[in-house]
Every structure is written in C-alpha cells, then in structure tokens.
Structure 1
C-alpha cells in the first residue's frame, strides 16, 4: 500500500466520510472510492463526491492522486468518471470543484473539462480555494 493513503490527511478524510455514512447510509454510493489503473494494478488515488446532491442539485467532486502516480492522466480519468456519474443522475444539475489556487495541476484538470470559476471560499482545513462549477447537462 502506498503510504499516501495512511497520512494524517488521508485518515482524516476517511474518518469524515465514514461519519457521513453513519449518519446517512445513502451517502456511501457518493463518497470517495479508490481508483485503480488496471484490475490487478496498484491503487493510484481516490475520487468521489463530497456527498449526495444537495437541494439545488449540486454535487462537489473530490479526487487525489498518490504522488508516485501523478502526471500520468489519472486525475483527468477520475474526473471524467465522476462527470459521467453525475450526468447519469437525474437529481444532479451542477458539479462543483474547489481547488487551492496553488494547485496548478488540479486547476489545469478542471479547466480542461470546462469548469467556470464562480468564486472563492475559505476552507478550515485547506485554506483559500477557488470554486468552479459546471452544469451537469454539459458533462
């Protein structure tokens, strides 16, 4: 197993997602999943939604690639899969991505899919983030 998946940050994320599932088991089909390159290959990262669609039909994507597997197109592949999933869900109208302004790789990934910057926010864990959205039908 890549040590990336057992860092304090990764453990915090998994505890958060498990707590969400404990409160609402329906969240399980939306939150983070492991991303594998080939059926018997290594886990290269995780991707999912921060939860099910909210009342306005918005879902927020989240994805991360282990450092040893970066710069090989995995983030784009994960985001493409998330967008296909969102497009297949009638309740989803908007897909959101929040990205640190210093994360050039992730900024390039959301730009490649046509996300539009709609604002910024302060995240208690991650600091300043740019907020991007994409209408689900455009996916």
Structure 2
C-alpha cells in the first residue's frame, strides 16, 4: 500500500448538473461534467446539498464560482467526493470550506487531499483572508482531517441541522 498522500482536482457542478442530480439523472450529470460521478451523488447523504446550492446560485449567481465541486483523484480520474466553499468570501475575507468523501473511498486520505486543494484554492484568491471549518464535536474523522493544517479553535456555533459545531480558522496564506 502506498503511503503517498493522494491528490484531487475539483470539477465544477453548474446548475444543470445539480438539476440533473436532483432529478436522479446520473447519466446526464456525467455527460455534462465529463467525469464518472458515482451513485453516491444521488444519495440522501448529498442531495439536500444540491438543492441548497442550486437555491443559493439562484439568489446569488456569483456564488457558483465558489461552491461545491466534484473531487476527482489524480491521476486516475476516480470521483471520490465533493468539496468547495459555502459561498464567496464575506466582507472580512472569510470563506468556509466543506467536503465529503464518498463512503467507498473513505479512510484513504482523500478528505485531507480535498482540504489541501481547498486551502490552495483559497490562498490563490486575493479576496480571501481567512479559511474556516465548522465541525461537529462528534465528527472525530473530520476533526482528525483538519489536524496539521494550522487551524485554530476560535469558538462554536449552533447549526439548525447539525447542532453544536466547533469553529476552526486559519489564515488563507500563513506567514
């Protein structure tokens, strides 16, 4: 088994793809993206996200450049999950990242690869100052995923769907 950290690239999921996924049309979504999206993209675990992001884009078309994308492993081209930001940077230059790994590819380093790529993306955007992650205290896997990336615990918040979340932040471009 290789000890090398996997790498991912992100592929946009524009509104027609999100609509196809919500309609259960995986073939159309695959054709539109040019990548082999898995059946996980039609699962209850993520379809709520497609609806939320589609509504978000309708209200703020500029958010489409920032939100959820398919995570494709490099160099083999397997779609291993999804990641992106919750939206464009706020007035203070903060973006909140989110990521999820297809259960078939968990515990292989892909979540860390997504965090690596999200941080690279944020660092390349002049308007981004701070990257945030909000994680349930019970989500041990996600807490372990961000360890080693320089995030600091800065507080907590109440999320209507997830309950208590710990807030972690780090500079987009550490000194």
Q: What TM-score do you get using the length of structure 2 for normalisation?
A: 0.74
Once the two structures are TM-superposed, the CA of residue 40 in structure 1 deviates from its matched residue by 5.8
After TM superposition, the structure 1 = structure 2 runs for residues 1-80 of structure 1, keeping only pairs within 5 Å, are 2-38=38-74, 41-80=77-116
In structure 2, the CA distance between the partners of 1:36 and 1:127, relative to structure 1 (3 Å rule), is same
Q: Separation in 2 of the partners of 1:7 and 1:118?
A: 33
Helix, strand or coil at the partner of 1:119 = strand
2:117 aligned residue: 81
Report how many residues are paired. 139
Q: Separation in 1 of the partners of 2:54 and 2:77?
A: 25
4+ residue segments displaced more than 4 Å: none
Tell me, yes or no, if structure 1 residue 128 matches structure 2 residue 164.
yes
Helix, strand or coil at the partner of 2:88 = coil
Greater shift after overlay, 49-58 or 20-29? 20-29
Once the two structures are TM-superposed, the CA of residue 48 in structure 1 deviates from its matched residue by 0.1
Q: Separation in 2 of the partners of 1:52 and 1:129?
A: 21
Q: Which runs of 5+ in 1 are unaligned?
A: none
Once the two structures are TM-superposed, the CA of residue 121 in structure 1 deviates from its matched residue by 1.0
